[in-house]
Amino acid sequence: MRAPLLSVIVEMPGMHADGARPLAIAIHGGAGVIDRTQMAPEREASYLAGLSAALDAGYSILERGGSSLDAVADAVRLLEDDPQFNAGRGAVLTHDGEAELDASIMDGAGPRAGAVAGIRHVKNPIGLARLIMDKSPHVMLIGQGAEKFAREQGLEFVPNTYFRTPYREEELQRAIHRERHSDKGAPAPGTITGTVGAVALDRAGNLAAATSTGGMTNKRYGRVGDSPIIGAGTYANNESCAVSATGSGEFFIRSVVAYDIHALVQYKQLSVQDAAKEVVQVKLKRAGGDGGIIAIDRAGDIVLEFNCEGMFRGARDSRGRRDVAIY
Amino acid sequence: MRAPLLSVIVEMPGMHADGARPLAIAIHGGAGVIDRTQMAPEREASYLAGLSAALDAGYSILERGGSSLDAVADAVRLLEDDPQFNAGRGAVLTHDGEAELDASIMDGAGPRAGAVAGIRHVKNPIGLARLIMDKSPHVMLIGQGAEKFAREQGLEFVPNTYFRTPYREEELQRAIHRERHSDKGAPAPGTITGTVGAVALDRAGNLAAATSTGGMTNKRYGRVGDSPIIGAGTYANNESCAVSATGSGEFFIRSVVAYDIHALVQYKQLSVQDAAKEVVQVKLKRAGGDGGIIAIDRAGDIVLEFNCEGMFRGARDSRGRRDVAIY
């Protein structure tokens, strides 16, 4: 006769009263100067519907016992497919009128990571970043080489025109016009239009983060922002938190924003909320960087921090929280 | 009549007895499996001569009152021009037999940074990284776009054949042969051959770091390692230290190695020596990453830390230290 099974409930951070482990997901659809007075109610409703769809899709994966990695990849894929957001279809256009896409993903267990930059024909850059992490010994692949890998892996390809929308074409023309009529070399105002991203905590206690972008309108020279840079735009580590950033990429790269939040949590024992405040409201602001981050810690606490007018965002967790917002 | 000038000597970290501020530079030419028994004495002497030339060129800039930025850029340029090292001329070759180069530079004042990846025709990638930092609002440019910027800035172009040496051609053939006769997908052993880099402290108290590489032999798919990633392969901040890394790039990206050393110094008040030991000997080793880093702190203390058989390296400072070494 076997001894009776001994049932031990180990106290986990954020665990619910019934012993269930917390679930949480947060998403963003970019941050920056969002002029409230210019936003028609139906456009606002449409943005919120897009955010809700991605948020709920990601959360339902967590609820079914899926991984945080699957949840963030799926939420970001939906935001890439939604032409309202600056990633995948609907991405902003380069000076030459093309879409040029970057993305990265990180698994807090491991940690493992995958990233792509300068992609023009892979329908979902986040799916390519995921495959680089899962199926190659590498972390980062760029340009045509990355697309060759994508083709070998059987990912879906689209012509570059798939990504382009009339709204982004107009936006590009306005940016080029502004540039011609402003100081030479000075970047046109309002050209930084963010990214999309997601962070999540699953039932197994694993954290994950994902970020995807078209970069900045009217960009040139193969410019790459923080979105595909592990440590800047994306970072996840089961020991601390998962972070996805959006904003003026150059500042986020120089400040190594996502890893800096992790480092403040791990080395200074700050809460993720305090670490995010320090990095976004103090350090980034001092450096002149606009934008924000979303983060989730091991207990499932969600942080949505930005130092500009608005950030398209959503948050949902197993404590019953569910909200989407812009300002 | 004017009041006599009041002379105040403010105590600075590492200041010499005569009040002169410390100067220091360190360089590396890659790290990894360096088989002592296979190294002919004349080849060893040639490596050391190459390291000495770069070290002394950088140091003489500091001695003449030049900036740490000029010192690291010039030291790295010389290592790029030296066909013995895996950067610029003499870079390792991709699976297709081409050279594909990455580089980055960071100015601890600011901080400011510049980076390039996937370069094929710019003679000195470190010079391009510097120009991106100095003359563009961006941090990172990749591929043909980056080369377009280089052309507009009047940088020297070379055919891709300029970078290729018979030694690297043979190395590539050996790697391809090994790959065909080993487990599919497993990277051929010894294919990671490092980078070059430099860190320096100048009389004004400014720290700078620079890194340049050809990546790994037989690389595919536009693979990018840690060298052009700010925070991974390169980081400098006047508040803490300047770091340049070399080794198995994927591990260095996931561990955000250069910024992690800065974070341990700034948030845990570790010395740069202790921070480097923690990151290179404990964290990287646990993750399975081989390689090393060079670093200099605000007092001019030089750290050369590696967890593999050897690292081509050199160090020189105003206290009279001057050494170059391999093992």
Specify the 3-state DSSP secondary structure of A212: strand
| A145–chain B Cβ distance below 8 A for any pair | yes
**pLDDT at residue A274 is higher than 90:** yes
Shortest CA gap B115–chain A (Å): 10
pLDDT at position B68: 98
Convert the pLDDT of each residue in B152-182 to its tens digit.
999 999 999 999 999 999 999 998 998 888 7
> What structural domains and CATH numbers belong to chain A?
24-325 (3.60.20.30)
Residues of B in contact with A142 (CB under 8 A): 117-118, 142-143, 222, 224
Cβ-in-10-Å burial (0-12, 13-18, 19+) of A148 comes to middle
Shortest CA gap A111–chain B (Å): 7
Mean pLDDT of all residues belonging to chain A: 92
With CB atoms and an 8 Å threshold, state whether A249 touches B112.
no
Quote the pTM value: 0.94
With CB atoms and an 8 Å threshold, state whether A142 touches B145.
no
Kindly identify which residue of chain A lies nearest to residue B257, measuring between CA atoms: A231
Residues of A in contact with B220 (CB under 8 A): 145, 148-149
CA-based end-to-end distance of chain B: 63
Report the 10 Å Cβ neighbour count for B249: 32
Kindly identify which residue of chain B lies nearest to residue A284, measuring between CA atoms: B111
Active site residue: B94, B193, B195, B213, which one? Answer: B195
Task: Tell me the pLDDT band of A188, cut-offs 50, 70 and 90.
Answer: very low
With CB atoms and an 8 Å threshold, state whether B145 touches A249.
no
Strand order in the sheet with A207-213: A322-325, A310-317, A24-32, A196-201, A207-213, A101-107, A112-119, A140-142, B223-224
How far apart CA A31 and CA A22 sit, in angstroms, is 27
Q: Chains A and B: how many Cβ contacts under 8 Å? A: 139
**pLDDT at residue A240 is higher than 50:** yes
In Å, the largest CA–CA distance within chain B is 87
Shortest CA gap B221–chain A (Å): 3
- Distances in Å between the Cα of A293 and the Cα atoms of A54, A107, A242, B98 are 17, 17, 10, 39
How far apart CA A119 and CA A96 sit, in angstroms, is 15
Phi, psi of B160 (to 5 degrees): -60, -30
How far apart CA B58 and CA B75 sit, in angstroms, is 5
Q: Is B195 a catalytic residue?
A: yes
β-strands A24-32, A196-201 pairing = antiparallel
| B230–chain A Cβ distance below 8 A for any pair | yes
Best of B119, B224, B284 to substitute, by most chain A Cβ atoms within 10 angstroms, is B224
pLDDT at position B11: 58
Half-sphere exposure for B290 (CA within 13 Å, toward CB): 16
Residues of A in contact with B230 (CB under 8 A): 229, 232, 253-254, 256
pLDDT at position A154: 97
How far apart CA A104 and CA B82 sit, in angstroms, is 35
**pLDDT at residue A157 is higher than 60:** yes
Q: How many residues does chain B have?
A: 327
Query: Which position has the token pair 């197994």?
Result: A204
> A76 versus A189: which is more confidently predicted?
A76
pLDDT at position B12: 65
**pLDDT at residue A125 is higher than 90:** yes
- In this complex, which of B137, B144, B260 lies closest to A187 when CB atoms are compared? B137
> A31 versus A32: which is more confidently predicted?
A31
pLDDT at position B265: 98
With CB atoms and an 8 Å threshold, state whether B231 touches A232.
yes
- The set of residues, in sequence order, having a beta carbon less than 8 Å from that of B249 and lying 6+ positions away, is A139, B192, B215, B216, B224, B225, B226, B227, B232, B233
| B108–chain A Cβ distance below 8 A for any pair | no
Specify the 3-state DSSP secondary structure of B314: strand
- In this complex, which of B143, B230, B249 lies closest to A222 when CB atoms are compared? B143
**pLDDT at residue A183 is higher than 60:** no
ipTM of model over 0.85: yes
Structure tokens given for B261: 């050393």
Active site residue: A193, A195, A217, A234, which one? Answer: A195
pLDDT at position A16: 83
Best of B235, B254, B270 to substitute, by most chain A Cβ atoms within 10 angstroms, is B254
Residues of chain B below pLDDT 70: 1-12, 183-193
Binding-face residues of A in 250-279 toward B, CB within 8 A: 250, 253-254, 256, 259-260, 263-264, 267-268
| B284–chain A Cβ distance below 8 A for any pair | no
| A232–chain B Cβ distance below 8 A for any pair | yes
- In this complex, which of A117, A144, A250 lies closest to B139 when CB atoms are compared? A250
Nearest to B229 by CA among B140, B319, B124, B326: B140
Residues of B in contact with A232 (CB under 8 A): 230-231
Binding-face residues of A in 171-210 toward B, CB within 8 A: 185, 187
Determine the angle formed by the axes of helices B125-135 and B68-81, rounding to 10 degrees. Answer: 150
DSSP A173: H
